[in-house]
Chain A
């Protein structure tokens, strides 16, 4: 069982370029999330999806978009990357949105925007 996979592992990107970070889970989880982690700031929620076909905004959604065409995939797109989007991006999933539903994290994508 792979759990959650993310691609690419790392990427260096020129400012202004479009970039899609991929996330796939094989646990048939309903809910999926994208976080960014920056030194000194902790994990911050970008977008989430509680089921296929629906998405919602988290704490820091500006500059990012997501889609949830099916249960397994939850790509995150930076339409026009800026240096402040340099970060480590983690995708996570949980069975649902119930209080006890644990979020499981992918290995992360380290993105550098120059």
Chain B
């Protein structure tokens, strides 16, 4: 099995910065995805990391440390529409994406 650990819930203020952490243990490693999922909707792709370091994409950045089994998603200049669940999904050496239970982020005015 795969162990993926993310905080269950987080709250942050509009305009602020929030970091969502994810630790994982997988049998083999073939990259890590972050997805965003609004309530009642499908997950949508945010980022992919396969090498150590930071990948920046607009207001969203994602970091990976393979040796530590650790990733984080950084959201800057938070907007109300960023209220959603954020899913960490490491990929093992085969085909499978292994999804964490997700972090529910609430952005408040």
Interface residues of A (CB under 8 A from B): 31, 35, 40-45, 48, 50, 56, 58-59, 90, 97, 99-100, 102-108
B: contact size bracket: 20 to 34
Residues 82-94 of chain B, each 1 if its beta carbon lies under 8 Å from chain A, else 0: 0000010001001
Question: Are A99 and B42 neighbours in the complex by a CB distance under 8 Å?
Answer: no
* Cα distance A50–B94 in the bound complex, in angstroms: 11
CB distance from A58 to the nearest CB of B (A): 7
Chain-A contact segment, one of B12-20, B67-75, B99-107: B99-107
Closest residue of chain A to B41, judged by CB? A107
Question: Are B30 and A43 neighbours in the complex by a CB distance under 8 Å?
Answer: no
Interface residues of B (CB under 8 A from A): 30-31, 33, 41-45, 48, 50, 87, 91, 94-97, 99-102
A42-B102, A100-B48 given as contacts; is B42 within 8 A of A108 (CB)? Answer: yes
Residues from chain A with a CB closer than 8 A to the CB of B94 are: 97
A50-B95, A99-B30 given as contacts; is B101 within 8 A of A41 (CB)? Answer: yes
